[in-house]
Chain A
Amino acid sequence: MEITGLNPQNIKKISEIKHEEQWVLDFRLKSYELFKKLEMPTFGPKFDLDFNKVIYYKSQDKGINSNWEKIDNNIKCEFQSLGVIDSEKYMDGIGVQYESEVIYHNMIEELVEKKVIFTSIEMAMKQYPDLVKKYFSKIVSSADNKLAALNGAVFSGGSFIYIPPNTTLDRPLQSYFRINSRGMGQFERTLIIVDDNSHLHYVEGCTAPTYSDSSLHAAVVEIYVGKNSTCRYSTVQNWAPNVLNLVTKRAVVEENGVMEWIDGNIGSKATMKYPACILKGDNSSGTCITISVATHEQQQDSGARMIHIGKNTSSTIISKSIARLGGNATYRGKVDIKESAINSKAIVKCDSLILDKDSKSDAYPTNICRTSLSNLEHEATVSRISEDNLFYLMSRGISEEKATELIILGFIERFREELPMEYAVELNQLLKRMI
């Protein structure tokens, strides 16, 4: 079954299929009203989008898949397609020993033992309504922007994670432990709560090309980072060239909390994505390291937002954009150090690499510092692949193609080194195939 077009009947239908409680349906309908009132963003890429032609729901053949046999196969195929398995051979099998089954079982045991909740948002709304209600749409409200409102009206899928106080997981939590079938995940809604004194590293998605039938991806990610807690959210997404990827990601960080976004954007027709940290608590900090690769008429409009409210807060934005073959990779970011955020500091560093004359890269930074007791630095570079660098690498026998690849991978080294090993390997393969 498929639901196309946006109206209250369709929204009720989606809610019915999911057997939702009244409060969820009310939220959906309220979001729909906001959606109608709000305008599309006036900045960023321009594209045509008819909301009445979008498929908002597609029934699944199966429920949530917890059968490892299946998942294993999926991952294996994806890894195979990216050449990761070959690259393991290339690495002499050292380093990447992918003991998937073992990791999986250990992970599940660990989650149960530590009382971590890791499920779908729909499931969480049924099983833990009070917990969900306390945080849901409090960080990204449907009034925030038209696409967040759209997500509120039609959301389907997405993860819910709750890390209880004083809890640390031994390894990153990865989204493919909970794989959705194809057709889902266009309007996913993720809510992550890291309670006080806890730590989470969440890795979302896979770098395998995400083909989808629908051309619109409008997700919302809300993250709450409690006192003395840290959360790192890593994702590398590679969308099919027909997809509009318009995503709202935001975290609220309490006292002494740390939030890190590691965000890679490859593919898609147009992307608008600016992960945000609201540094509410004193001594809290936020980091966003982002790369975007725009190729063949793609428009990557990405960056980050850091809102400093608490005292002694700090933030770092590192943005790396690559534009090639007519692509447009733009940095758009905002740092706002409020009057209350005394003794704070923010660093913004955006670098772009433009590979040919048909491509472009712009930067639209908004940097506001409202107190003289705080400090904001902004640094930006635009470069091309230097002939001297190419000549040097080639003078050692490395082909021009391979040398270019080394330089591009070098350009985003700062991003790659933040990824878990197997993702870094995947990203390498992905970029190598693109070049």
Chain B
Amino acid sequence: MLNIKKLNVVVGDKKILNDFSLDINDGEIHAIMGPNGTGKSTLSKVILGNKNYEVVSGDIKFNKKSIIGLSTDEISRLGIFVSFQNPISIEGVQNSEFLKTAINSRRENAIGLFEFVKEIKEKAKELDFPEEMIHRAINVGASGGERKKNEVLQLELLEPSFIILDELDSGLDVDSLRKVCDGINKYLKDHPKTSVLIITHYPRILEYIKPQFVHMMVCGKIVKTGGYKLAFDIEKLGYSDASIISGEEVHE
């Protein structure tokens, strides 16, 4: 599904991704853990083609085709979805208008109003996302938790085949986290070929959405790859010690 090969990315003269490689197959769940400022969130923006980041060398292939140089909306329409760490608010732009436009951007015929309203109401209810927020401007006056639920609502409506969850648990209390993760798990059950990349500091979220692969990222590259257990070694030992424990398969 997603193949990143020797990717080097800079912002100005600062190198952010350093010979970064990662392969994710259909239906796999991966997690990337790493200390602050190691380029985890950059990765999701680079995958989405954010123009503030310059790809110096390397390639990102999605379903065997390079997506480097595509515009952000084109990449999104290929089926890549990022749930952002800090979803912004946009004054004046109504959520429902935004969602309808996003849905229609990937359809030949515009979605019927009735169908749209029905779907959005159902999904909002499942997530415990307040219905009146649908008619408000995007995330204006919304709490951190509501913003994250809005991300997942968008995810469910846009039906991506590859999902990046960037610090999904930040801003969510335990109940909301469970609700949101239940929603995602249900989505994955209904869409078994969908792959997920979870970007996180803490292993807590991995208890809800269980990855088969855990990668440790330091200074713009993956330094160690292991199974589910690695996440808890990192939690126990910290990033510097975890990188030297033996018995784990080392990436490349």
- A: which residues have CB within 8 A of B? 90-92, 94, 387-389, 391-400, 402-403, 406-407, 409-414
Contacts and interface: CB of A to CB of B under 8 A. Distances in A.
9 contacts: A391-B48, A391-B72, A392-B88, A393-B98, A393-B102, A397-B105, A406-B101, A410-B90, A411-B92
B16 interface: no
A397 B50 CA distance: 13
Nearest to B91: A410
A400 B88 contact: no
Interface string B94-123: 100110011001100010111000000000
Contact of A394 (B76, B84, B88, B97): B76
B71 interface: yes
Contact of B71 (A394, A406, A407, A412): A394
Contacts, number: 84
A412 B92 CA distance: 7
Contacts of B127: none
B216 interface: no
Given A387-B52, A399-B73, 9 more contacts: A92-B113, A389-B88, A389-B90, A392-B90, A394-B71, A398-B105, A410-B91, A411-B92, A413-B94
Contact of A397 (B51, B76, B92): B76
A396 B98 contact: yes
Of A407, A410, A413, chain B has the most CB atoms within 10 Å of the CB of A410
A387 B48 CA distance: 14
- For the residues of A in contact with B, the DSSP-based class is helix
B158 interface: yes
- For the residues of B in contact with A, the DSSP-based class is mixed
A402 B88 contact: no
B105 A402 contact: yes
Contacts of A409: 92-93
Interface in B154-194: 154, 158
A410 B113 contact: no
B82 interface: yes
B73 A394 contact: yes
A321 to B, nearest CB: 15
Contacts of A407: 90, 92-93
Contact of B158 (A393, A396, A402): A396
A409 B98 CA distance: 11
B137 interface: yes
B48 A402 contact: no
Contact of A91 (B90, B93, B113): B113
Interface in B20-76: 48, 50-52, 71-73, 76
Contact of A92 (B72, B114, B158): B114
Contacts of B141: none
B139 to A, nearest CB: 9
Of B84, B88, B102, B112, chain A has the most CB atoms within 10 Å of the CB of B102
A394 B48 CA distance: 9
A397 B91 contact: no
Nearest to A94: B113
Nearest to A401: B73
B167 to A, nearest CB: 16
B88 A396 contact: no
B70 to A, nearest CB: 11
A396 B102 contact: yes
Of B94, B105, B137, chain A has the most CB atoms within 10 Å of the CB of B105
Contacts of B52: 387
B185 to A, nearest CB: 22
Nearest to B112: A92
Contacts of A398: 73, 98, 101-102, 105
Contacts of B94: 410, 413
Of B98, B106, B137, chain A has the most CB atoms within 10 Å of the CB of B98
B87 interface: yes
Contact of B137 (A94, A391, A410): A410
A393 B90 contact: yes
Contacts of B114: 92, 94
A76 to B, nearest CB: 23
